[in-house]
């Protein structure tokens, strides 16, 4: 297991390097410049680009990025907070922490509600409960986040005044409620749907029939035997979910005025703030890679038949 983890970590570094190269090439392939405004002249743009080393050949710029990243220097923002170190923007200003806090809460809610809902729907398959849950989850997957967020804001903040309209830096429990619901609703519904299908599949397996024949009680049958095997597809889904929740939190952060990273992840591309694009991409990629590693290890724990390394075969 340790050898496997070490191997994966080494592989992750290579993947991150590849992501850096691809991101760098892509961001330089799209037209525009961070210094291009309706009032800027070509001379000004050239001067500004020279100031930040953007006039150097691409391979030199890329090498500088890699070199600096190795010593933990993520560069300086060119546009969004001109002159501010990107590391400060992401970490010290609390943007990453805010997005992670929000994302983690949304993920936990999605798992804690989605999985039981899926089990219940599968357990009561064909009943009105199953029908109701199916309608609910289908609606949940279909409703765009910005619609749900706006609806929650107007109803619960403006009209009922139960929650603040400005969640800000999430200072208290109340400020979490609406953003977390908005962010987790889609994933809760999706996980519930996934869980239902997976559970139904498991229930019809031979070992369940055998257990049933042996007189195992239904709730134990579901919770102990079927649940464990039905979790595999859900676990697979969880890795990318966290990244999706963070990068996809743009709308929620904007609607509830939360100064998180999701907003930056989108805006830095639009404003061509190259160092911020690189840094947010690398940080989020590292997060996804880490989550995927955790997911892979969790597989093994949930289903010992799964092999992680060639040796184990």
Partner 1 sequence: MKRIIALLLVLCLAVSLFACTTSTPANTGTTTTTDTTSTTTNSGSQSANAGTTDNSGKTDTTETTVAEKFVVNACIASEPETIDPSTISSVDGSTYTQHQFENLMKYQMTNDNPAGDPNMKSTEIVLGQAAGYTVSDDLTVYTFTLRDDIFWSDGVPVKAQDWVYSWQRLVDPATASDYGYFLDNIVLNAYDIYEENTKDKSELGIKALDDKTLEITLEAPCAYFLEMCAFASLVPLRQDVVEGSDNWTDPANIVVNGAYKLTEWVHDSYLKMEKNEKYYDYDNLGPDEIIWWLSDSETAIYSAYQSGEYQFIESFPSDLTETLQASGDCYINPYVGTYYLYLNCSKVTDWRVRAAMVLSVDRENIVDNVTQQNQSPATGFVASGILDSTGADFAFGVSELGAIYNTLSTMYPDADLSTYAGRCELAQQLYQAAVDDGSWDPNTTVVYNFNTSETHKAIAEACGSDWVTVLGLKISLENQEWATYTNGLGEHTFGVARLGWIADYNDPVTYLELLVTGNSYNYGLFSNEAYDAKINSAKAMLAGAERDALLYEAEELLFGEGGFPVCPIYYYTNPYCAQGLTNVAYTTMGYFFFQYAQPAA
The residues of the shown chain that bind partner 1, judged by CB under 8 A, are: 1, 30-44, 47-48, 51, 79-84, 89, 91-97, 100-101, 104, 107, 149-150, 153-154, 157-158, 161, 164-166, 168-172, 254-257, 259-260, 263-264, 270-272, 290, 294, 297-298, 301
CB of 91 to partner 1, least distance (A): 7
* Complex with partner 1: residue 87 or 134, whichever CB lies closer: 87
Distance CA 152, CA 36 (A): 38
* Complex with partner 1: residue 169 or 197, whichever CB lies closer: 169
* Complex with partner 1: residue 53 or 171, whichever CB lies closer: 171
Distance CA 275, CA 268 (A): 9
* Complex with partner 1: residue 33 or 197, whichever CB lies closer: 33
**Cα angle 139, 144, 147; round to 5:** 105
**Neighbour tally for 269: CB within 10 Å:** 17
* Complex with partner 1: residue 61 or 169, whichever CB lies closer: 169
* Complex with partner 1: residue 137 or 255, whichever CB lies closer: 255
CB of 72 to partner 1, least distance (A): 14
* Complex with partner 1: residue 89 or 181, whichever CB lies closer: 89
CB of 294 to partner 1, least distance (A): 6
Cβ contacts of residue 295 below 8 Å, gap of 6+? 235, 236, 238, 239
CB of 99 to partner 1, least distance (A): 9
Roughly what angle, to the nearest 10 degrees, separates helices 128-142 and 173-203?
A: 120
Q: Is 7 helix (H, G, I), strand (E, B) or coil?
A: helix
**Neighbour tally for 135: CB within 10 Å:** 10
CB of 110 to partner 1, least distance (A): 13
Long-range contacts of 152-156 (CB under 8 A, 24+ apart): 152/178, 152/181, 152/182, 153/178, 153/255, 153/256
CB of 131 to partner 1, least distance (A): 33
Residue 288 burial class via C-beta count within 10 angstroms: exposed 0-12, middle 13-18, buried 19 and up: buried
* Complex with partner 1: residue 41 or 218, whichever CB lies closer: 41
Is residue 252 within 8 Å of 179, Cβ to Cβ? Answer: yes
Is residue 232 within 8 Å of 299, Cβ to Cβ? Answer: yes
**Neighbour tally for 54: CB within 10 Å:** 19
CB of 132 to partner 1, least distance (A): 30
CB of 227 to partner 1, least distance (A): 15
Distance CA 253, CA 149 (A): 10
């Amino acid at each position: 297991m340790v050898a496997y983890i070490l191997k994966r970590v080494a592989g992750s570094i290579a993947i991150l390097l590849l992501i850096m190269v691809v991101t760098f090439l892509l961001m330089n392939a799209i037209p525009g410049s961070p210094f291009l405004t309706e009032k800027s002249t070509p001379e000004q743009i050239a001067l500004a680009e020279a100031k930040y080393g953007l006039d150097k050949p691409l391979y030199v710029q890329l090498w500088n990025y890699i070199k600096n990243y190795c010593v933990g220097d993520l560069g300086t923002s060119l546009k969004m907070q001109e002159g501010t170190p990107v590391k400060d923007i992401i970490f010290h200003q609390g943007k990453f922490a805010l997005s992670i806090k929000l994302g983690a809460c949304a993920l936990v809610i999605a798992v804690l509600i989605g999985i039981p809902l899926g089990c219940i729907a599968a357990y009561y398959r064909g009943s009105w409960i199953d029908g109701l849950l199916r309608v609910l989850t289908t609606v949940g997957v279909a409703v765009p986040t910005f619609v749900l967020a706006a609806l929650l804001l107007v109803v619960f903040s403006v009209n009922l005044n139960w929650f603040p309209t400005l969640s800000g830096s999430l200072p208290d429990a109340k400020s979490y409620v609406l953003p977390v619901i908005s962010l987790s609703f889609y994933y809760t519904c999706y996980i519930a749907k996934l869980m239902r299908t997976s559970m139904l599949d498991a229930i019809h397996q031979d070992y369940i029939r055998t257990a049933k024949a042996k007189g195992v009680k239904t709730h134990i049958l579901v919770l102990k035997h079927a649940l464990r095997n039905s979790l595999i597809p859900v676990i697979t889904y969880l890795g990318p979910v966290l990244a999706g929740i963070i990068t996809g939190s743009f709308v929620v952060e904007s609607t509830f005025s939360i100064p998180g990273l999701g907003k930056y992840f989108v805006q830095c591309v639009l404003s061509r703030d190259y160092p911020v694009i690189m840094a947010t991409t690398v940080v989020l990629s590292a997060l996804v890679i880490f989550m995927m590693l955790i997911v892979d290890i969790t597989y093994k724990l949930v289903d010992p038949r799964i092999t992680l390394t060639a040796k184990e075969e």
